[in-house]
Structure 1
Amino acid sequence: MPRYEFTEGSSSKFWEITLEGTTLTKRWGRIGSDGQEKVEEFDSKAEAKKAYEAQIHEKERKGYTLAGGGEDDGGEATAESAVNPDLEAAILAKPDDVKGYLAYADWLEGEGDPRAELIRLQHSALDAPAAKATAVHKQVAKYVETHSGELLGESLAEAVSDETLKLEWHLGFIREARLGQVDYDSTADIPELLGELLAHPSARFLSRLTVGMATFDGENEYHDVLEVLAKAKPAPPLRSLFIGDFEYPDETEISWTHVGNLQPLYKVYPQLRELRVRGGEIELGKVDLPELRAFTVETGGLPESAVKSIVKAKWPKLEALEVWFGQEEYGAGGGVKDLKPLLDAEGVPALRKLGLRNAEFTDELCAALPSAKVLAQLEELDLSMGTMGDGGAETLAQNARAFQHLKALDVSRNFLTEAGLKVVAKVAPSVIRGNQREPYDPEEESRYAAVGE
């Protein structure tokens, strides 16, 4: 509890204040006495924090100074989280085994760490009836809020309070996190916040990470975010990573976002099963992700180098691949010839869902796919958002036998007329055909990929 004192003339007074969640506790009186105590409750942590700072400012204005030359700790309890590498290693080895977490809870209890009780609380809800589980979830939310200083620390707790950071807790630890600036008035430093999150013991078993807007000020860039991820020590066991969770064009345009080089992440997060990237200026490098099941790249201009990275990638367990190619004027490069290794099914034995979307060469794809080796192993094929015309639809229809095994074929948001829609309707058992677009000039070749800028 920060202690302030005022000594002048005959006055010799102290004043103490503590902020815990939404509760302010104050004690004051003559130095040497027990003094008086008062507790104030507020409707939110933000209101309590504001009152805490205002009251300290008022005391300082009156001449009170922090006793002992110490520093104000912000009012929150910030006991250092206890860490046991051996018990953590046991959990990392078997992340779905609750026994490891319960053993950690026993040890943490001896250290006075509030995560011990949180582990037990959440464990009690795992197999509980719905009504009891709901009640426990409410207890958990209250417990996390009350002990946020110890479970998170002041800056992470503040980020949660203003929704810059959203968390899901599982057996006492953070399992999922999403962080990003919330609006144009936000001043949150997302790379710095991410660094604090990755370094915190409560995020040691972080499994899913989503990064929204890195900044609304100028162009949205993720270079620093990627650098923080690449340098995390120890790195959390991420299984899912999404860089670029923003609404376009409402928050920013895809082409106004710079992703950067993803290659340094592959060795750091070899357990990734899902990787999704949205934005521009994407560098994939040499992809080696042996556990990856799903990869999605959403862009208005995928460079030829990235196309080549995709077809040469090492991901033997990949089941779903979705690629947006984009428009040449926004940096898109490559074409059907560059996709030949993929169309020949090289290195993708487990692939079942393939999306070749937002392309300026969709009709050429329609001509190449009937003889593509990869087609036979697919269950779903997505050619949406591209430049398919009635000619491409006719090509698919002429080769309908090659597509009959598909569970779904998506040709939506292309440039099919009523005649083209009718032709393509029976190419596969289920054909998604809605939201066709109109060319700039029906009399000229003015079809375009749906997303560029």
Structure 2
Amino acid sequence: MLRRFEFKDARSYKFWEITVEGTSFTVRYGKVGTDGSTSTKSYPTEEKAQAEAEKKIKSKTKKGYAEVATSSAAASKKSSKADAAAEWAVRADKLQAAGDPWGQRIAIFDQWEAAKGAGKRKWKKQLKELDEEHGEHFYGAALQELMADKLFEKVGRFEWKHGYVVRARIGAPEYDHEGPKPEAVLDALLQSPAATYLEDLILGLPAFDDTNYSDMITSLSKAKLEHLEKLFIGEFSYPDDTEISWVHVGDIAKAVKGAPNLRTLRVRGGGVSMKSFEHDKLQRLEVESGGLPSAGLIGFAKAKLPELTHVSLWLGRDNYGGSTNISDLDALWKTKAMPKLVHLGLQNSEMQDAIASALAQAPLLKQLSSVDMSMGTMRAEGAQALIDNAKNFEHLKSLKLDDNFIPYNLHATMKKALGSMLHIGRQESPEDWGDGELYYYTSVGE
């Protein structure tokens, strides 16, 4: 979402804009009436990107910048909202004329959403009466039965619009939960008429003592989710809920087959594979893992994703399932199946030196505008490869190398060779266990 701020005094009239997209944000700034300058920053998680964006906004408002909205944007938003409301009213009328209770549900739900005070209570009562009469028609028998359980809302949290579920978060709430199982809730929801217009689906842990998503992915593979745009498999905190490498995800290509309009796929956990991965609309892919199997990386390298613009893969450590090697990326370096890819994140990796050397010579590099190799074990070898091939990277807007092991004595040389695109940030120091060896670890492992 774009937010614009302006500052005006006797000497200047400036603007500052920020757009947050996934794990990065883009800032545009300058004098009002000019195109200004643009910069992009990336972060390990969406939460971190949003938090840093809010800090920037707070800093600007303290300096006197005020948020503004263009009249064209406001008018467009108002017009779009009115058109959507009219479309749903027509849909409700047609369904009612055909004798389908969904028409009445849509009409009553929209009245309830618009009402206030006593009016809201009136429409809520009518919705309840309608559900009592036609609940199975609206929800399906399985979901209706699960929703009757007093512990249901601890497992499934739904957001509704026009009487349909548009956003859902499903997951085990605690270790000793005795209510409905998340797998059963997901399966029932995906078969329910109420999920016809589902747009955003978030899957927490299936259980705290059995962190395997195989049943959930099987349910997803059988579903028809025409309106789903966002899917997050693995929404949990690590290490508080569980260790990231203890979670088995499975084949994410299988999970998205029934969602032809999916735009964003985010995955957290281990055991991630991508068999015959093809999708016509996917734009963003983020895989956070303490150890990505070789099959997962090869699967992505060979994927056919014509609309993909942003990918972030955490490769992880070999002792936590990260069995990748540099040859797994051979197909990616020369791929023609991701023509719109502009951001490549190969992060949290033990082979960052080899990745830096290979990427420097890869045909893929020419189409990229930003690269993220943070959180890994890059040392002098990888840093020198970037210095020696600096001209191949000069078109990039951002090259992120934070949280590696790049020796301090190379920082100045790197900054001189690579310029303002370089984000080197804080670097780690190897562990010394007193056995004569130094140990280098990725930021996220177990």
Q: Structure 1 length as normaliser, TM-score?
A: 0.68
* 1:104 match: 91
Q: Is the 8 A contact 2:146 2:152 kept in 1?
A: no
TM-superposed deviation, 1:121: 5.5
TM-superposed deviation, 1:250: 0.9
Tell me, in whole angstroms, the C-alpha distance in 1 between the residues paired with 2:258 and 2:341.
24
Of 138, 155, 171, which residue of structure 1 is paired with 2:146?
Answer: 155
- Secondary structure of the residue aligned to 1:356 is strand
- Secondary structure of the residue aligned to 2:420 is coil
TM-superposed deviation, 1:209: 0.8
Q: Which shows bigger deviation, 384-393 or 156-165?
A: 156-165
1:79-106 C-alpha deviation (Å, 9 max, x unpaired): xxxxxxxxxxxxxxxxx95554222222
Q: Identity percentage over the alignment?
A: 34
Q: Which has the larger radius of gyration?
A: 1
1:241-289 C-alpha deviation (Å, 9 max, x unpaired): 1111111111111111111233433432232222222111222211111
Of 256, 269, 291, which residue of structure 1 is paired with 2:281?
Answer: 291
Tell me, in whole angstroms, the C-alpha distance in 2 between the residues paired with 1:326 and 1:356.
10
Is 1:315 matched with 2:308?
no
Q: Is the 8 A contact 1:104 1:116 kept in 2?
A: no
* 1:451 match: 444
Q: Is the 8 A contact 1:180 1:211 kept in 2?
A: yes
* 1:202 match: 194
Alpha-carbon distance change, 260 to 338 in structure 1, aligned in 2, over 3 angstroms: closer
- Secondary structure of the residue aligned to 1:409 is strand
Is 1:228 matched with 2:211?
no
* 1:360 match: 350
Q: Is the 8 A contact 1:389 1:416 kept in 2?
A: yes
Q: Is the 8 A contact 1:219 1:256 kept in 2?
A: no
Is 1:370 matched with 2:360?
yes
Q: Is the 8 A contact 2:270 2:291 kept in 1?
A: yes
- Quick one: which amino acid aligns to residue 452 of structure 1? G
TM-superposed deviation, 1:146: 6.8
* 2:24 match: none
TM-superposed deviation, 1:366: 1.6
Q: Is the 8 A contact 2:302 2:335 kept in 1?
A: no
TM-superposed deviation, 1:139: 5.3
Alignment of 1:287-436 (within 5 A): 287-426=277-416, 427-436=418-427
- Quick one: which amino acid aligns to residue 184 of structure 1? Y
Alpha-carbon distance change, 146 to 101 in structure 1, aligned in 2, over 3 angstroms: closer
State the aligned residue count. 344
Tell me, in whole angstroms, the C-alpha distance in 1 between the residues paired with 2:259 and 2:305.
14
Tell me, in whole angstroms, the C-alpha distance in 1 between the residues paired with 2:331 and 2:310.
16
* 2:184 match: 192
Q: Where do 4+ consecutive residues of structure 1 move more than 6 Å? A: none
- Quick one: which amino acid aligns to residue 183 of structure 2? P
Alignment of 1:17-166 (within 5 A): 98-108=85-95, 111=100, 113-119=104-110, 143=124, 147=128, 150=135, 153=144, 155-156=146-147, 162-166=153-157
* 1:258 match: 248
Tell me, in whole angstroms, the C-alpha distance in 2 between the residues paired with 1:178 and 1:115.
22
1:375-394 C-alpha deviation (Å, 9 max, x unpaired): 12112110011111133223
CA RMSD of aligned residues (A): 3.0
Alpha-carbon distance change, 384 to 154 in structure 1, aligned in 2, over 3 angstroms: same
